[in-house]
Amino acid sequence: MKKLIIPAMALAMAIQPMEGQTLYEAVYEKVQSIVNNPSATAAEQQENRFKLEALNYLKTKGQQEGQTRDSYFLDSQAVNLTSFIDDFLTNTRTAEKVSRAKHDEMVRCYVNAAKKFPLFQDPANTVVDESKAIPFPLNTDWEKAYDNATTVAKSILKRR
Protein backbone atom coordinates (compact mmCIF):
# COMPACT_ATOMS: atom_id res chain seq x y z
CA MET A 1 0.00 0.00 0.00
CA LYS A 2 2.80 2.41 0.88
CA LYS A 3 4.30 1.78 -2.55
CA LEU A 4 1.17 3.40 -3.95
CA ILE A 5 0.96 6.22 -1.42
CA ILE A 6 4.39 7.79 -1.96
CA PRO A 7 4.05 7.98 -5.79
CA ALA A 8 0.54 9.38 -5.31
CA MET A 9 1.96 12.04 -3.00
CA ALA A 10 4.68 12.88 -5.54
CA LEU A 11 2.14 13.03 -8.37
CA ALA A 12 -0.19 15.27 -6.38
CA MET A 13 2.70 17.59 -5.58
CA ALA A 14 3.85 17.72 -9.21
CA ILE A 15 0.45 18.23 -10.80
CA GLN A 16 -0.77 21.19 -8.82
CA PRO A 17 1.09 23.98 -7.13
CA MET A 18 0.74 23.39 -3.44
CA GLU A 19 0.35 25.72 -0.57
CA GLY A 20 1.65 23.19 1.90
CA GLN A 21 -0.11 20.26 3.47
CA THR A 22 -2.48 19.61 0.56
CA LEU A 23 -2.70 15.92 1.40
CA TYR A 24 -2.97 16.65 5.12
CA GLU A 25 -5.89 19.00 4.45
CA ALA A 26 -7.58 16.49 2.13
CA VAL A 27 -7.29 13.73 4.75
CA TYR A 28 -8.48 16.10 7.48
CA GLU A 29 -11.53 17.19 5.48
CA LYS A 30 -12.47 13.60 4.62
CA VAL A 31 -12.15 12.48 8.23
CA GLN A 32 -14.08 15.49 9.50
CA SER A 33 -16.89 14.88 6.99
CA ILE A 34 -17.29 11.31 8.29
CA VAL A 35 -17.26 12.49 11.92
CA ASN A 36 -19.98 15.02 11.07
CA ASN A 37 -22.04 12.57 8.99
CA PRO A 38 -25.08 11.47 11.02
CA SER A 39 -25.53 8.37 8.85
CA ALA A 40 -22.01 7.06 9.59
CA THR A 41 -21.94 3.95 11.77
CA ALA A 42 -20.73 4.10 15.36
CA ALA A 43 -17.55 2.25 14.35
CA GLU A 44 -16.85 4.72 11.53
CA GLN A 45 -17.49 7.61 13.91
CA GLN A 46 -15.10 6.19 16.51
CA GLU A 47 -12.36 5.41 13.97
CA ASN A 48 -12.56 8.86 12.42
CA ARG A 49 -12.72 10.68 15.75
CA PHE A 50 -9.39 9.07 16.59
CA LYS A 51 -7.96 10.08 13.20
CA LEU A 52 -9.20 13.64 13.71
CA GLU A 53 -7.69 13.79 17.20
CA ALA A 54 -4.39 12.41 15.89
CA LEU A 55 -4.33 14.87 12.97
CA ASN A 56 -4.98 17.79 15.32
CA TYR A 57 -2.25 16.52 17.66
CA LEU A 58 0.22 16.19 14.77
CA LYS A 59 -0.42 19.70 13.53
CA THR A 60 -0.36 21.35 16.96
CA LYS A 61 2.69 19.48 18.26
CA GLY A 62 4.44 19.79 14.89
CA GLN A 63 3.94 23.56 14.94
CA GLN A 64 5.29 23.76 18.50
CA GLU A 65 8.40 21.89 17.43
CA GLY A 66 8.80 23.73 14.12
CA GLN A 67 8.27 20.65 11.96
CA THR A 68 5.28 21.89 9.97
CA ARG A 69 7.39 24.20 7.82
CA ASP A 70 8.11 21.17 5.66
CA SER A 71 4.86 20.24 3.89
CA TYR A 72 6.05 16.64 3.50
CA PHE A 73 5.95 16.15 7.27
CA LEU A 74 2.20 16.61 7.77
CA ASP A 75 1.28 15.13 4.40
CA SER A 76 3.26 11.96 5.06
CA GLN A 77 2.05 11.58 8.63
CA ALA A 78 -1.60 12.08 7.61
CA VAL A 79 -1.49 9.57 4.77
CA ASN A 80 0.38 6.99 6.85
CA LEU A 81 -1.97 7.49 9.82
CA THR A 82 -4.95 6.73 7.63
CA SER A 83 -3.24 3.72 6.05
CA PHE A 84 -2.16 2.43 9.46
CA ILE A 85 -5.67 2.61 10.94
CA ASP A 86 -7.36 1.21 7.83
CA ASP A 87 -4.91 -1.69 7.59
CA PHE A 88 -5.24 -2.34 11.32
CA LEU A 89 -8.99 -2.71 11.01
CA THR A 90 -8.77 -4.85 7.87
CA ASN A 91 -6.02 -7.11 9.20
CA THR A 92 -7.61 -7.63 12.61
CA ARG A 93 -10.88 -8.64 10.91
CA THR A 94 -8.99 -11.04 8.65
CA ALA A 95 -7.04 -12.50 11.56
CA GLU A 96 -10.21 -12.91 13.62
CA LYS A 97 -11.64 -15.19 10.94
CA VAL A 98 -8.69 -17.51 11.60
CA SER A 99 -8.79 -17.45 15.40
CA ARG A 100 -9.13 -15.21 18.44
CA ALA A 101 -5.44 -15.79 19.20
CA LYS A 102 -4.46 -14.62 15.70
CA HIS A 103 -6.66 -11.53 16.18
CA ASP A 104 -4.98 -10.73 19.49
CA GLU A 105 -1.54 -11.21 17.93
CA MET A 106 -2.48 -8.78 15.14
CA VAL A 107 -3.71 -6.18 17.64
CA ARG A 108 -0.41 -6.50 19.56
CA CYS A 109 1.51 -6.10 16.30
CA TYR A 110 -0.10 -2.73 15.59
CA VAL A 111 -0.05 -1.51 19.21
CA ASN A 112 3.64 -2.41 19.50
CA ALA A 113 4.46 -0.61 16.25
CA ALA A 114 2.63 2.53 17.39
CA LYS A 115 4.35 2.51 20.80
CA LYS A 116 7.76 1.70 19.33
CA PHE A 117 7.98 4.86 17.22
CA PRO A 118 7.09 8.03 19.14
CA LEU A 119 7.32 11.15 17.01
CA PHE A 120 7.81 13.83 19.65
CA GLN A 121 9.39 14.02 23.09
CA ASP A 122 5.96 13.96 24.68
CA PRO A 123 5.54 11.18 27.24
CA ALA A 124 2.01 12.36 28.13
CA ASN A 125 0.72 11.21 24.74
CA THR A 126 2.40 7.83 24.50
CA VAL A 127 -0.09 6.03 26.73
CA VAL A 128 -2.08 3.22 25.16
CA ASP A 129 -5.55 2.23 26.30
CA GLU A 130 -5.93 -1.26 24.84
CA SER A 131 -9.59 -1.38 25.82
CA LYS A 132 -10.37 1.15 23.07
CA ALA A 133 -11.31 0.08 19.56
CA ILE A 134 -8.43 2.21 18.26
CA PRO A 135 -5.79 1.54 20.95
CA PHE A 136 -2.92 3.75 19.77
CA PRO A 137 -1.04 6.66 21.31
CA LEU A 138 -1.34 10.01 19.60
CA ASN A 139 2.42 10.46 19.78
CA THR A 140 3.30 8.06 16.98
CA ASP A 141 5.52 8.42 13.94
CA TRP A 142 2.87 7.00 11.63
CA GLU A 143 5.27 6.55 8.72
CA LYS A 144 7.67 4.34 10.70
CA ALA A 145 4.87 2.57 12.56
CA TYR A 146 3.09 1.79 9.30
CA ASP A 147 6.24 0.32 7.74
CA ASN A 148 6.87 -1.82 10.82
CA ALA A 149 3.29 -3.01 11.27
CA THR A 150 2.89 -3.84 7.59
CA THR A 151 5.94 -6.09 7.66
CA VAL A 152 4.95 -7.88 10.86
CA ALA A 153 1.27 -8.19 9.88
CA LYS A 154 2.19 -9.90 6.61
CA SER A 155 4.20 -12.51 8.48
CA ILE A 156 1.35 -13.07 10.97
CA LEU A 157 -1.17 -13.61 8.18
CA LYS A 158 1.15 -15.96 6.28
CA ARG A 159 1.38 -18.26 9.32
CA ARG A 160 -2.29 -19.16 9.19
| pLDDT tens, per residue, the chain with 160 residues | 555 555 555 444 444 444 555 899 999 999 999 999 999 999 999 999 999 999 999 999 988 887 767 778 999 999 999 999 999 999 999 999 999 999 999 999 999 999 999 999 887 766 666 667 788 999 999 999 999 999 999 999 888 6
Please work out, in degrees rounded to the nearest 5, the angle formed at the alpha carbon of residue 74 by the alpha carbons of 85 and 78: 15
Residue 85 lies in a domain: yes
Q: Which residues contact 23 (CB under 8 A, 6 or more apart)?
A: 9, 12, 74, 75, 78, 79
Residue 3 lies in a domain: no
In the chain, the number of structural domains is 1
Residue 12 lies in a domain: no
Residue 151 lies in a domain: yes
Record the pTM: 0.82
Helix (H) or strand (E) holding 39: none
User: Which of 36, 150, 44, 134 minimizes the C-alpha distance to 85?
Assistant: 134
Where in the sequence is the domain holding 77, given as residue range(s)? 21-158
Residue 99 lies in a domain: yes
User: Could you tell me the CA-to-CA distances from 72 to 38, 55, 78, 135 in Å, in that order?
Assistant: 32, 14, 10, 26
User: Which of 139, 120, 119 minimizes the C-alpha distance to 128?
Assistant: 139
Residue 5 lies in a domain: no
Contact (CB, 8 A) for 157 and 95: yes
